[in-house]
Structure 1
Amino acid sequence: MTEEKVVDRSGHSLSVLNYKGDLLPLFPLESIHRLEHFVFRDDDILISAYPKSGTHWVWEMVRMLKTGQTDGLPLVEKDDYMIELDVTDIATMPSPRILTTHVLFRQLPGLRSSKCKIIFINRNPRDVAVSFYNHHVKLKDYYHYDGSWEDYFHLFLHGQVDYGSWFDYTRDWERVLPENPHVDVLTVFYEDMKENPAAEVTRISQFLGLNHERAFIQSVCDKCDFASMRQRKGKLDATSDGEPIMYRKGEVGDWQNWFTAEQVALMDEVCKSKMANSAFKFRYE
């Protein structure tokens, strides 16, 4: 396990942790070591997604659905209980736990024998790339990266960022789920949640075995609207100048403000190669 500096085409470096060949953020070593021994409980709910795909958004939805409350819930400062960030504290949490992760299925071997429920979030790779770039440059004190979008694009395209390739990550989860049919998984798409939040929150509620009325579902949607989330939770995790780290725009199609025609073609080419025969269909607007 070593700290590495991934270097872009112009010589700007991004700091990551190399753990057994997988690139991760510079999280506590003890937590990373304990991932492979993490014990899931049958009543756990795990929200899994590649970074910048709506993890914290869905975590808040699930918390409201499970508690039956949209008001008066305490603000959580522990990055919404991300397993790889703090395994030790999470292990002592009371049930039921609502957990999050960005790691691969194989990095959590305890899932194979678990009866926990998993919500897997997908988001189109163009918007993910733009959001992740802004995340990396915003956290300059952490990642030490100050490269341009043009140079970062190639790092992202080739999986030279923390959590590796979006394409490999997405295909890996798609591949392992049929191999583990006992694992209870609901797949949701960021774009669907933006377009019709009530329908998607209802799907999540039903998946969790809950029976909420339409009025409550709508209340969850209203409280989890991006502007509301940014106002309530943005200041908990912010840069030194007060800019929220996790809540930037929350839009579908922001990639159009960043991508050149050449970059669209390059990413489409990689998608065609790496996502061949994938059942996942992504919307970009």
Structure 2
Amino acid sequence: MTTKENESSSKSEEQPTFPKEFNGLPVEIDYDGAGRPFPSVIVDDQKFSLGIIKSVIPGGNIVEHIQNIRNLSARDDDVLICTHRKSGTHWIWEIVSMLRKGIAEYDTKIKETAMFEFLSKEQLEALESPRILNTHFSLRMLPIDLLEKKRKIIHLMRNPKDVVVSMYNHYKSLRIGVGRFYSGTFSEYLSLFYSLEGEAKGGWNKYVRDFEKFAKGNPDYPILTLYFEDLKQDPKKEITKVAKFLDVSYTEGFITAVAERCEFENLKKANQEIKDDYITRKLACDGNQFIYRKGTVGDWKNWFTVAENELLDETFERWMSGSELKFKFSL
């Protein structure tokens, strides 16, 4: 294990007051390692921050929005990308977009223009076909019609150590209201991560395990399970899997071109120079893009202490007991 950020935190920050209920649900307060409060509500076993709901969810009512999403009508050519937060959603969305268009060129649109969390049911229904829908919502929140009609789902997973590091940096760059979503150190955030991601709260482990159980219980359902680490290690092999799953025509040269265009640094540059990234830029503290940071495997080694790593290892073993999923923590 190597370095951690050397950043002081203030335990004397003024503590705000929060409502006891929000959208008709009881408000739960979680705390980071420095005692900062984070109010949330739980909908169908998934926890949602009040700040995120107010800033992102159309209309600000998470209960009504999720019900509307469940009632979304599926189309024959819909493809749905499902990921836990900070697991490569932008990456796989760009890959799918290029494969379906048959051209290794960037679209000016970003994935948030077809994401359940950002759009109302009416906005989603107004999208042109073919739709490449995407979401971080849990399995039980997906459109009933989409599941019943067995529309294709791509589920991309990433190891939880790199996920938590990426989430921390993401939240440090995210603006909620007039301030940062998070202002503490990584060690202080880890306490919050365990509170928010606990097995009873619908966090990372429940997200990936629910999809694992669904795939096993529905062997005829068209779902493609991918790992961030495999996509990083051998992109052409994994992109070919996606092309076959989507039943699109391809050549080795086309797959190579898609892999090159979707390399992390190229996507980061495209997001800065080509993409109409108005949706996420307005959520950034400095107005700049904050979606693409490193995109590596094993960056967690630069953040965890030995003790913190051992604790997550122990927690991971408990979370994944009985699972057949195999995660890589380094390449």
Question: Could you tell me the TM-score, scaled by structure 1's length?
Answer: 0.91
The aligned residue for residue 128 of structure 1 is 163
Determine if the alignment matches structure 1 residue 83 to structure 2 residue 116.
yes
Q: Structure 1's 118 and 228: CA in aligned 2 closer, same or farther, altered over 3 A?
A: same
The aligned residue for residue 140 of structure 2 is 106
**What are structure 1's unaligned runs of at least 5 residues?**
none
Determine if the alignment matches structure 1 residue 138 to structure 2 residue 173.
yes
Q: 2: distance between equivalents of 1:209 and 1:176?
A: 22
Q: Contact conserved, 1:13 with 1:145, CA < 8 A, in 2?
A: no
The aligned residue for residue 239 of structure 2 is 201
Select 1:23's aligned residue among 34, 41, 47.
47
Select 2:206's aligned residue among 168, 179, 186.
168
The aligned residue for residue 102 of structure 2 is 68
The aligned residue for residue 300 of structure 2 is 255
**C-alpha displacement of 1:185:** 0.5
Determine if the alignment matches structure 1 residue 155 to structure 2 residue 175.
no
The aligned residue for residue 8 of structure 1 is 32
Q: 2: distance between equivalents of 1:250 and 1:177?
A: 27
Q: Structure 1's 182 and 234: CA in aligned 2 closer, same or farther, altered over 3 A?
A: farther
**C-alpha displacement of 1:187:** 0.7
**C-alpha displacement of 1:154:** 1.9
Q: Contact conserved, 1:48 with 1:102, CA < 8 A, in 2?
A: yes
Q: 1: distance between equivalents of 2:209 and 2:225?
A: 13
Q: Contact conserved, 2:81 with 2:135, CA < 8 A, in 1?
A: yes
Letter in 2 for 1:233: N
Q: 2: distance between equivalents of 1:12 and 1:160?
A: 17
Q: Contact conserved, 1:41 with 1:115, CA < 8 A, in 2?
A: no
Q: Structure 1's 231 and 50: CA in aligned 2 closer, same or farther, altered over 3 A?
A: same
Letter in 2 for 1:148: T
Aligned residue for 2:265, secondary structure, equals helix
Q: Contact conserved, 1:15 with 1:144, CA < 8 A, in 2?
A: no
**C-alpha displacement of 1:204:** 0.4
> Cα RMSD over matched residues?
2.2
Determine if the alignment matches structure 1 residue 284 to structure 2 residue 329.
yes
Q: Structure 1's 221 and 174: CA in aligned 2 closer, same or farther, altered over 3 A?
A: same
- How far does the alpha carbon of each residue in 1:94-127 deviate from its partner, in whole angstroms, 9 at most, with x for none? 2211011111111115143022111110110000
Q: Alignment identity in percent?
A: 36
Letter in 2 for 1:112: L
Q: Contact conserved, 1:140 with 1:146, CA < 8 A, in 2?
A: no
Q: Contact conserved, 1:234 with 1:246, CA < 8 A, in 2?
A: no
Q: Structure 1's 33 and 113: CA in aligned 2 closer, same or farther, altered over 3 A?
A: closer
**C-alpha displacement of 1:33:** 3.5
* Matched ranges for 1:233-244 at <5 A: 233-234=271-272, 236=277, 237-238=280-281, 239-244=284-289
Letter in 2 for 1:156: F
